[in-house]
Every structure is written in structure tokens, then in C-alpha cells.
Amino acid sequence: MNPEQELGRRLRAGIKKNEPMSLHTSWQVGGPADYYLLPADEAELQEIVRFSNRTGLPLFIFGNGTNLLVRDGGIRGLVVQIGAPFSYVHREGNLLCAGAGTSMTFLARAAAKTGLQGLSFAAGIPGSLGGALVMNAGAFGSYIGGLVAEIGLVRFDGEAVRLGREEIVFGYRQSNLAEKGIIVEALLELEEGDPDLLKSEVEKYLAERRRRHPSLPSAGSVFRNPPGRPAGCLIEEAGGKGLSVGPARVSEQHANFIVNPGGASARDIEELIEAVRQLVKEKFAVELQTEVRIVGEKR
Ligand SMILES: Cc1cc2nc3c(=O)[nH]c(=O)nc-3n(C[C@H](O)[C@H](O)[C@H](O)COP(=O)(O)OP(=O)(O)OC[C@H]3O[C@@H](n4cnc5c(N)ncnc54)[C@H](O)[C@@H]3O)c2cc1C
């Protein structure tokens, strides 16, 4: 079955063939998605999932592409972005109901504005709420998983379901959500707070990030922190700062960031990841694990 004829006509945003993933990842690298789709609502998403089941075309879901290394050969099948159409926030008592496409910074600002406390840490995390939930994103000692009351998702059989807190397992930069389906919405439980204080807390965290993080394209921390010492310290002490493969290089400002000043390929970045891993292993006998997700085919 032809996705362009079958799905293209029914989806409001249509379907794009051979869409470069470099347009959708914060590293600005990545080869073509066979078919790129931006569903306008849950019903369209269900239609895509059912189409994938009928045809056997693989399905890949992403949010803002800020934790992804897409290889230069791209991604086969249907590549679905949970983006702007799923961006909304409203308050229900002490709960904040937000769409999975909502940006974390927008969410932190919205919580502060309405006087709900607990989300300021998320200001400046450049991902979507859906991606943050899958990764259990966190900063400054807080994690998104700790706030979850309920999640709305579309299962891989196309059914829309709600998951209670007790069905979800959150760990360090991981959760069991991606195996359960595609996240479309979350209910977050927060506490009453003072809007003015919260707004200044949000600005404080944003300023702290501007100070600490490189501004060149990156995917944030490349490696998970192993028990004991942060990955960035191990890389710095092993002499990894400034190491490069092609234009890709380990940031001088933050050793757990690999930056793309322009012109790097996914292959450059992946080779640099391996070089850093090797360096730290030789120096400290510690095997670093990636926090970024590496997907797609090599060219
Ligand atoms: C400058 C910078 C700073 C960063 N700082 C932090 C930080 O402080 N803390 C932190 O935790 N992370 C940080 N990150 C990493 C990243 O922003 C987070 O992991 C973020 O939560 C990922 O969200 P995303 O929408 O970009 O996800 P993506 O990169 O698009 O996807 C991540 C994973 O989630 C899956 N996924 C995405 N959306 C959905 C969905 N709706 N349903 C099911 N699966 C989905 C994807 O398949 C993929 O496996 C930083 C990144 C950058 C570039």
C-alpha cells in the first residue's frame, strides 16, 4: 500500500517523503526519513498506527529530537513527530494537563504563571514533554517522573488508553513508557506556589543553563553519569576536552557535550562518542553508556 496515497490525503499536514532528519534534530545531523508525518490530533495518530500495523511499515516516534543521534542513512518506514498540534497546557486544581508536544520551557513558564510549583527545573530542557517522560528528564535534582499522576497514550494496536502512576516505572534517564505506546498527554501533580517567586525561579534556572551549557548545536549530555563521578568529570580528567572527529568536537565548556559547529555528520559524532568511551575506559576502567539514543541506518 502506498503511504502517500493512503495517508497523505487524510492527514491535515500531509506526508513528506525523504525528509532530512537533520531538520528535526538539535545536533542538526541525520539522513532521510522515508515518510515524515506530523499528526494533527490523536485520531490521526491512531490512523497512522493502524496503517503501520496493516502494512508492516515500521514506526518511529520522536518529539523535539534533542536526545537523538539519527545516523546518516536515515530511518526506514513511518517517522512520526509528536509536535506543535499536541502542545497545550491547562490547569485542573493542583493538576496540570499538558500535551506531549508541549515544550518543557513553555510548560515550566505556564506552571509558574498559574501558581503551581514543582516544574521550574524543566525550564531550558529543550525537549518536548513526551520525550522528557520517556527519558525521565531531570535537572537540578528534580525529575519529571516524580510529578506524573496519569498518562494518555496510543498503544501500538491503535487503542487510546490512560495509564495510572502505578503502571509506570521511572528510573535514571529511563522509563517503561516507550514500550507501552505513544504518549499524547500527561497529568502532572503540583503544589500551590507564588507566581512571582516561581517566575523568578524559572529565570534563575534559564540563566544557569546559559552560563553552563555550550550554545553550539548538541544533544545535551551524551553519556549517563556512572555511579560515583559525573561522566563530564571523567572525560575532562581523561583529557577528552577538545577531542574531535571531523567538525564534531567535545565541548571545551562542558566535557559531556559533543558540539557540531557546522558540517559534522552523524558518523563523525558516533566515532567521537566511541573515541571518548575508549579514552575513559583506558584511563579509569569505566565503560560509559550513552544517554542519547542512536537510531537509523549507517550510510
Ligand atoms: C542543550 C541541551 C540541554 C539538555 N539538558 C537536559 C537536562 O538538563 N536534563 C535532561 O534530562 N535532558 C537534557 N537534554 C536532553 C533532552 O532535551 C531530553 O532528554 C528531552 O527530554 C528529550 O525530549 P525530546 O522531545 O527532544 O525527545 P526526542 O529526542 O525526540 O526523543 C527521545 C526518546 O523519546 C522517544 N519519544 C519522544 N517523544 C515520544 C512520545 N510522544 N511518545 C513515545 N516516545 C517518544 C523517542 O523515540 C526517543 O527514544 C538536553 C539537550 C540539549 C540539546
Specify whether the CB–CB gap between 173 and 136 falls below 8 A.
Answer: yes
* Cα(161)–Cα(152) distance, integer angstroms: 6
Q: Phi then psi for 168, rounded to 5 degrees?
A: -115, 135
Query: What's residue 15's pLDDT?
Result: 94
Quote the cell numbers at residue 48. Answer: 497512522
Ligand 1 mutation target, pool 22, 29, 62, most atoms within 8 A of CB = 62
* Cα(19)–Cα(81) distance, integer angstroms: 12
How many other C-beta atoms are found inside a 10 Å radius of the C-beta of residue 258?
34
Segment 108-123, tens digit of pLDDT: 999 999 999 999 999 9
Q: Name which of 213, 212, 202 is nearest 121 in CA terms.
A: 202
For residue 295, with 0-12 CB atoms within 10 Å meaning exposed, 13-18 middle and 19 or more buried, which class applies? middle
Segment 211-245, tens digit of pLDDT: 999 999 999 999 999 999 999 999 999 999 999 99
**Which residue ranges form the domains of the chain, and what is each CATH number?**
3-84 (3.30.43.10), 86-212 (3.30.465.10), 231-295 (3.90.78.10)
Segment 40-52, tens digit of pLDDT: 999 999 999 999 9
Segment 156-189, tens digit of pLDDT: 999 999 999 999 999 999 999 999 999 999 999 9
- Give distance in angstroms: CA of 219 to centre of ligand 1: 9
Residue 210 pLDDT > 70, yes or no?
yes
Segment 269-288, tens digit of pLDDT: 999 999 999 999 999 999 99
Query: What's residue 153's pLDDT?
Result: 98
Segment 25-34, tens digit of pLDDT: 999 999 999 9
Query: What's residue 189's pLDDT?
Result: 98
Look up the pTM and report it: 0.97
Query: What's residue 1's pLDDT?
Result: 66
Give the number of C-alpha atoms closer than 13 A to the C-alpha of residue 296, restricted to the C-beta side: 29
How many other C-beta atoms are found inside a 10 Å radius of the C-beta of residue 45?
26
Average pLDDT over the chain reads 97
In this prediction, residues 116-141 reach a mean pLDDT of 97
- Give distance in angstroms: CA of 1 to centre of ligand 1: 32
For residue 267, with 0-12 CB atoms within 10 Å meaning exposed, 13-18 middle and 19 or more buried, which class applies? middle
Residue percentage of the chain with pLDDT more than 70: 100
Segment 4-25, tens digit of pLDDT: 888 888 898 889 999 999 999 9
Segment 138-155, tens digit of pLDDT: 999 999 999 999 999 999
What is the dihedral angle through the alpha carbons of 206, 208, 214, 217, rounded to the nearest 10 degrees? -20
Specify whether the CB–CB gap between 27 and 269 falls below 8 A.
Answer: yes
> Which protein residue's CA is at the shortest distance from atom 8 of ligand 1?
139
Return all residues near 182 (Cβ < 8 A) that are at least 6 apart. 45, 49, 61, 80, 82, 100, 130, 153, 154, 156
In this prediction, residues 82-103 reach a mean pLDDT of 98
Question: Which residues carry out catalysis?
Answer: 173, 221, 291
Ligand 1 mutation target, pool 80, 134, 294, most atoms within 8 A of CB = 134
Q: Per-residue b/e over 206-239, b at no fewer than 16 CB within 10 Å?
A: beebeeebeebbbbbbbbbbeeeeebbebbbebe
Query: What's residue 3's pLDDT?
Result: 87
* Cα(127)–Cα(7) distance, integer angstroms: 27
> Which residues, judged by CB distance below 6 Å to any ligand atom, belong to the binding site of ligand 1?
26, 61-68, 82, 100, 125-128, 130-132, 134-135, 137-139, 178, 182-183, 213, 218-220, 293
* Cα(297)–Cα(294) distance, integer angstroms: 10
